[in-house]
Structure 1
């Protein structure tokens, strides 16, 4: 995960809502030409249409869209929202937003496996949530 996330991490205090959180997480990949802007819109539309299925575990979300929605390269960004953001009234506030983009239907499988191993480690999630710099997070990984 270290190599995948290096240069793709941003830490902010707050966002006005989950849509802004998804846009901020997507902006990291957009700035690096890993996705097109329409990919972010598609990820937001998916959540509006399908609900909060992107909540992987307490405090962690993984918005994404289809490859044909504007994914250029398989990649992941991490937005840490220190105050957390609500995706619904039913879930705990999300502090970690991993934006996943996959250029095709299979190249993301290894990334998902690595991400799954990371989020299964509650202690690691806590450390990442409380980190104040990208280098600190990369050292955890």
Structure 2
């Protein structure tokens, strides 16, 4: 099961830029004590240096940084944007769903990516997440997987 709780889900968030979206998703993890602020800065740095490589499917971004000591436990946050925003990906813009992920090591990181990808690649589940009225409904969709 993915490490997701209602505390790290925000819906219909207004953002002005991809950096805002990354920071909001990362700050949810900081607030819950899952990662240090330095991890959020590494996610932003990765975006600046590597571009929108983490926009993995139409409308879906999975910002992350390398696993390191700033990650206290495997974690995930989910932010649904009020209005889709352009991240700069040739095929998958604009982004509506931003899921920040952090793994304590490479293996945990990849396992979480796979689990999340299997949920987000299911058109029915993705539609339910995009249409959910509250964080509890999103969590229910994720936990059913």
Structure 1 contact 14–85 (Cα < 8 Å) conserved? no
Q: Take 2:71 and 2:20, find their aligned partners in 1: how far apart are those partners?
A: 19
Structure 2 contact 35–73 (Cα < 8 Å) conserved? yes
Structure 1 contact 63–98 (Cα < 8 Å) conserved? yes
Partner of 1:45: 45
Does structure 1 residue 97 correspond to structure 2 residue 98?
Answer: yes
Partner of 1:61: 61
> So what's the TM-score if we normalise by structure 2?
0.88
The Cα shift of 1:89 comes to 6.5
Partner of 1:88: 88
CA-atom RMSD, angstroms? 1.6
Structure 2 contact 13–79 (Cα < 8 Å) conserved? no
Q: Take 2:50 and 2:109, find their aligned partners in 1: how far apart are those partners?
A: 21
Structure 1 contact 102–108 (Cα < 8 Å) conserved? yes
Runs (5+) with no aligned partner, structure 1: none
Partner of 1:131: 132
Runs (5+) with no aligned partner, structure 2: none
The Cα shift of 1:15 comes to 0.3
Q: Which sits farther off after the overlay, 73-82 or 88-97?
A: 88-97
Q: Take 1:104 and 1:114, find their aligned partners in 2: how far apart are those partners?
A: 16
Q: How many residues align?
A: 140
The correspondence of residues 5-84 of structure 1 with structure 2, limited to 5 A, is 5-7=4-6, 8-68=8-68, 70-84=70-84
